[in-house]
A = this chain, B = another copy of it.
Amino acid sequence: MSESGAAVRNTRQRSAVSALLAEVEGFHSAQDLHAMLRDRGERVGLTTVYRTLQGLADAGEIDVMRPPGGEHLYRRCSEGHHHHLVCRACGRTVEVAGPTVETWADRVAAQHGYTDVSHTLEIFGTCPTCTP
């Protein structure tokens, strides 16, 4: 158990997904990314795309967003805790940090006796480019 040999193997498919995530801008769905890989000529199964994205998300290397009424969206983000300001039209995303919000959330939860606190926060709007 614990560590030992090669826990994670280096495969062509994993590299392809990682490389793609490094190049694309904004959030994209698994199916979306799968289609992009196909267009690039990379042959990667849809199941593998899902698995890889899950792995990266679990490892904290990418962020997952669940927009109202849509599929899961994935994006390579900077490290550390942050939130997203997302354009409804084009998906352009700005990472924002809100230390005040974090402490506020924790304090509110504590006041009501809640422990093991986490939170989700997303801001949606129309970016300058998409404003008519």
Q: How many copies does the complex hold?
A: 2
A105 to B123, CA, bound (A): 7
Interface string of A107-132 (1 = CB under 8 A from B): 01100111111111111111110010
**Residues 27-63 of A at the B interface (beta carbon under 8 Å):** none
A124 touches B119 (CB 8 A): yes
Q: Smallest distance from the beta carbon of A93 to chain B beta carbons, Å?
A: 10
A109 touches B125 (CB 8 A): yes
Q: A85-B108, A101-B104, A108-B85 are in contact. Are A119 and B123 (CB under 8 A)?
A: yes
The answer, yes or no, to whether A10 is at the interface (CB within 8 Å) is: no
A105 to B64, CA, bound (A): 20
